[in-house]
A = this chain, B = another copy of it.
């Protein structure tokens, strides 16, 4: 009685962007191909953002070109914060993007330098200009904001409604700074699905407070269509040393594969790529399996 589950790796975007030192484009491509080879069906391979704001992503077009030419049918997508980003993604050859805006007005201003209305205008311009582009919307700070704290569920429903009216059908509820907990996950997913039964809702969970695997598990039980994680748990915030990024893809896949879910992903292959990533990238890795050595441990006593 295995349940199919779609695990989406966003490490090449959310993970790589946290690394200060530029990761060579060939390394990025190699790691993305390792994730594909392990059986992951969808990957956020880069973002089209200002190279001044995030220099790590300055090779977005090259990464897209390489992956799309080698894996033409693969579900690769990029994050974009505005119309210009979507334009770059389309020009590079992508068929899908996720636009991001924050439920928190303050966070949206800090993150993408826009008011809510300005972000909504960007979405409309993308939809109008690229009717064939698959577009999903990331709602950052759905589960809380470092500036504003908890965000009301009513405001979430209101914002989703406005974006739906522009024509967007798929949403990702993002726990941007790892503030979600099980009952909050349940509240937001239930409210969103009740208000918009025809829309698709995904979960994007950070492991900052050690609830990444639990919250992702709860999101799946609440009907999340897909869950987003990052290879090796690469990520974190440059202003909070030690704080983790996304949930580790391979840690989640191990749990799901064992617990009656069908991910279609080969854990051992994925772990090999995760360990490789750790060996070549100077970053903050929160995954657990990458640190487990194989010899047995007998002195734990209980």
Contacts and interface: CB of A to CB of B under 8 A. Distances in A.
Contacts of A237: 297, 299-300
B302 A138 contact: yes
Contacts of A238: 297, 299
A210 B287 contact: yes
Contacts of A53: 299
Nearest to A285: B242
A207 interface: yes
B14 A292 contact: no
Size band of the A side of the interface? 35 or more
Contact of A302 (B98, B183, B242, B289): B98
Nearest to A207: B288
A263 interface: no
A31 interface: no
Nearest 7 interchain pairs by C-beta:
A242-B291, A146-B296, A237-B297, A210-B288, A210-B251, A181-B258, A214-B214
With most chain B CB atoms within 10 A of its CB, the pick from A49, A79, A183, A291 is A291
Interface string A195-206: 000000000101
A17 interface: yes
Given A210-B288, A291-B241, A298 B111 contact: yes
Interface in A243-302: 243-245, 248, 251, 254-255, 258-260, 287-289, 291-293, 295-302
Interface stretch (A65-73, A88-96, A151-159, A171-179): A171-179
Interface in A33-55: 47, 49, 53-54
B254 A147 contact: no
Nearest to A212: B210
Q: By CB atoms of chain B within 10 A, which of A54, A238, A259, A301 has the most? A: A301
